[in-house]
């Protein structure tokens, strides 16, 4: 995919995972890069290129450097690495992109290199543009993200035990909290990263099982990172794909 490549030694690929307006024209854009992880980019004239800053925008960034003593980064130029026409035109794909960007933004520490997660984000850019099974994109992404972060749980010998997402450990069913995951969901989470989209329907999963994986994986990641951020964008996906 073209977005994974750079055209010059001073260029690198980045994915937009968030941002906030700063005044009338400026913006702090949160970018995901492989070498630097998530970083806040100061864009002084963001209104001139406002079409670039949508969630999961694929960018090439030139001369990315930290600003001295301000915790922000500067870049000489940001330009679109891919046209992303389907993503920008299709409301369902845009909603999934918003969700993926939110998950990435709250799952990574600022400034910590994240080559595996960036590589996953590049794959997700292709899914968002070309994959016809749109309701499965965020489900598959969450399984891949748990794997990329090195947090994939191992299944216990007892098939009745459930996974407590707050601790990442399996417990007897009678001691499991309401948010615990059934082993069928965890087994699917382990299996999905090795499956193509065309194979996912063979799982015969209900919408409730997909929801359990998505929200359970997020809570598992947050717990392992010592965070408690809840997702704001999932309800839109649930309404879209019900």
Any idea where the domains of the chain sit in the sequence?
A: 131-242
Four-residue CA torsion sign, 213, 218, 221, 226: negative
Tokens of 52: 């670039």
pLDDT-based confidence at residue 231 (cuts at 50, 70, 90): very high
* E strand spans, 122-196: 162-164, 169-171
pLDDT-based confidence at residue 1 (cuts at 50, 70, 90): very low
Mean pLDDT of all residues belonging to the chain: 92
Burial 27-49 (b: 16+ CB within 10 A, else e): bbbbbbbbebbbbbbbbeebeee
Q: 97 and 164 in contact (C-beta within 8 Å)?
A: no
Give 103-153 pLDDT, tens digit per residue.
999 999 888 899 999 999 999 999 999 999 999 999 999 999 999 999 999
> Which of residues 142 and 4 earns the better pLDDT score?
142
Give 187-211 pLDDT, tens digit per residue.
999 999 999 999 999 999 999 999 9
Name the DSSP letter for residue 63.
Answer: S
Tokens of 9: 């030694």
pTM of the model: 0.92
Per-residue pLDDT averaged across 148-168, rounded? 95
Asked whether residue 235 carries a pLDDT value surpassing 60, the answer given is yes
CA distance 90 to 197: 19
% of the chain residues with pLDDT over 70: 96
């Amino acid at each position: 995919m073209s977005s994974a490549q750079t055209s010059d030694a001073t260029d690198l690929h980045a994915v937009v995972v968030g941002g906030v307006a700063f005044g009338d024209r400026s913006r702090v854009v949160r970018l995901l890069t492989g070498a630097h992880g998530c970083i806040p980019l100061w864009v002084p004239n963001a209104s001139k290129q406002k079409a670039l800053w949508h969630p999961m925008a694929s960018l090439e960034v030139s001369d990315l450097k930290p600003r001295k003593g301000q915790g922000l980064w500067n870049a000489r130029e940001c330009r679109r690495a891919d046209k992303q026409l389907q993503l920008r035109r299709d409301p369902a794909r845009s909603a999934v992109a918003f969700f993926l960007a939110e998950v990435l933004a709250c799952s990574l520490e600022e400034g910590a290199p994240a080559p595996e997660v960036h590589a996953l984000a590049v794959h997700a850019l292709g899914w968002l543009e070309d994959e016809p099974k749109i309701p499965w994109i965020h489900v598959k992404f969450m399984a891949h993200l748990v794997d990329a972060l090195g947090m994939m749980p191992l299944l216990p010998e007892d098939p009745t035990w459930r996974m407590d997402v707050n601790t990442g450990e399996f417990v007897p069913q009678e001691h499991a909290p309401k948010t615990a995951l059934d082993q069928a969901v965890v087994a699917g989470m382990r299996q999905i990263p090795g499956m193509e989209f065309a194979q996912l329907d063979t799982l015969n999963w209900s919408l409730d099982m997909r929801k359990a994986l998505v929200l359970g994986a997020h809570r598992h990641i947050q717990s392992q990172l010592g965070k408690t951020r809840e997702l704001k964008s999932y309800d839109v996906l649930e309404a879209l794909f019900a």
